[in-house]
Amino acid sequence: MNTLIRIVLLSLTMMVGAVQAADPLVISSGTDRATPIAVVPFGWQGGSVLPDDIAEIIGKDLRNSGVFEPIPKQNMISLPTTAGEVIYRDWQALGAQYVLVGNMVPSGGRIQVQFALLNVATQQQVLTGSVGGTTEQLRDMAHHISDQSFEKLTGVKGAFSTRLLYVTAERFSAENTRYTLQRSDYDGARAVTLLQSREPILSPSFAPDGNRIAYVSFEQRRPRIFVQHIDTGRREQITSFEGLNSAPAWSPNGNRLAFVLSRDGNPEIYVMDMGSKSLRRVTNHYAIDTEPFWGKDGQTIYFTSDRGGKPQIYKTNINSGSVERVSFVGNYNASPQLSADEKTLVMVHRQEGFTNFKVAAQDLQRGNVRILSDTNLDESPTVAPNGTMIIFATRQQGRGVLMLASVNGRVRLPLPTAQGEVREPSWSPFLN
């Protein structure tokens, strides 16, 4: 959520009645278990020590989805590296439903990886494949194998080869803070700097092509929206209106950008055609309208508004102008994000009678809400393009961090990120 508007929205909810000190109930996914899978350490035929453990990365990927539970390496009875070496009774004894094995061979300065995924019950191969790359691409190869395995077993495209945007803030003194826009693997690894500034950077957002990003920068002492090309670093300033210029969101085809302007005295949602730069006002209400998020049809925009007295999620059709309230549970709902199938609304949520802000998922058909986080002061949720995981900003031990959670509620873990306050995460689209 844009920081300035978040402060305004929070101030509008301060008249809520007496609160309780207890945390709200965290609703889990029930008693069903994640699928046990064994990701056996891959064989390596080279003489040098590799900088990354492919099997370990794959195991973490599959665990992060909340769908699979990797068997610890120390519990493994045998360590096969090819399908022919697998002794199925070893894995039946451990309760594994699937086994993933692999072997790595050096080849002309590169590494060739052969892998196989096997069903323990049927004793059959369900997937075989190979992938090659340099030593520096070991993580890419691991994420590729994770994607292939996940899709084969679930029918859902894997999102482990995607990327993440986020902002860090390192404070050196009262008047000296460095803000850095970074891009990393989805799990926080291999972070690279895209922009540094002494002024705040907010609301980064990937374009659907994965090559452009939009964000808000205060480098001119006022909020302005920029679009930057990742490969070249070329930047273009998109807005320079008086007042708020915030919360950029790309349309599904990447040809339009929705954002919030207060040029007419009140925060409203506008849409800009990226080719002609023509501007169109979408909302028109005396309340605060902010945080646009596009539906897949390219005509629907979900947004946060306090037009009902408290921040809630609404949606509008940009052609007809019709507005419909979407969220009803809780006294505060903001930062709307949709799952890939658009059946689930992910948002920042506060329950009636509580002060803590949680990340929650609302079933848009049934209306029920499920809490996904077990932290407090959560904000800025972003959803994986396949809808299986979310990442959000929160606080842990007095520091702003990013937290990954599976949408089914089984996994919650902090991401390893740089020093300083970490905030404003944004998940990329599929990149292959």
Per-residue pLDDT for the chain (432 aa), expressed as one digit of tens each? 454 444 344 433 332 332 222 232 223 333 368 999 999 999 999 888 999 999 999 999 999 999 999 999 999 999 999 999 999 999 999 999 999 999 999 988 899 999 999 999 999 999 999 999 999 999 999 999 999 999 999 999 999 999 999 999 998 888 889 999 999 999 999 999 999 999 999 999 999 999 999 999 999 989 999 999 999 999 999 999 999 999 999 999 999 999 999 998 899 999 999 999 999 999 999 999 999 999 999 999 999 999 999 999 999 999 999 999 999 999 999 999 999 899 999 999 998 888 899 999 999 999 999 999 988 889 999 999 999 999 999 998 888 999 999 998 899 999 987 678 999 999 999 997
Tokens of 146: 């994770």
CATH number listed for the domain at residues 35-154: 3.40.50.10070
Alpha-carbon distance 391 to 144, whole Å? 20
Q: Tell me if residue 111 falls in helix, strand or coil.
A: strand
Alpha-carbon distance 356 to 258, whole Å? 29
CATH 3.40.50.10070 region(s) of the chain?
Answer: 35-154
Alpha-carbon distance 294 to 384, whole Å? 15
Task: Tell me the backbone φ, ψ of residue 310, rounded to 5 degrees.
Answer: -140, 155
Handedness of CA 338, 142, 186, 109 (dihedral sign): negative
Tokens of 170: 């390192």
Closest CA to 347 of 356, 84, 358, 355: 358
- Cβ-count burial 115-147 (b if 16+ within 10 Å, e if not): bbbbebeeeeeebeeebeeeeebbbbbbbbbbb
Residue type for position 76: M
Determine the distance from the C-alpha atom of residue 420 to the mean position of all C-alpha atoms in its chain, rounded to a whole number.
Answer: 20
CATH 2.120.10.30 region(s) of the chain?
Answer: 3-13+162-427
CATH of 3-13+162-427 among 2.60.15.10, 3.90.1150.10, 3.40.50.300, 2.120.10.30: 2.120.10.30
360 within 8 A of 339, measured Cβ to Cβ: no
**How far lies 296's CA from each of 156, 326, 415, in Å?**
18, 16, 29
Which DSSP string corresponds to 194-261? EEEESS-EEEEEE-TTSSEEEEEE-TTSS-EEEEEETTT--EEE----SS-EEEEEE-TTSSEEEEEE
Q: Do β-strands 35-39 and 98-107 pair in parallel, antiparallel, or remain unpaired?
A: parallel
Q: What's the whole-model pTM score? A: 0.89
Tokens of 32: 């069903």
Predicted local distance difference test score (pLDDT) of residue 18? 28
Residues 6 or more apart whose CB falls under 8 angstroms from that of 159 comprise: 147, 186, 384, 385, 386, 388, 389, 427, 430
270 beta partners: 259, 281
Any alpha helices (H) in 256-413, and if so which ranges?
none
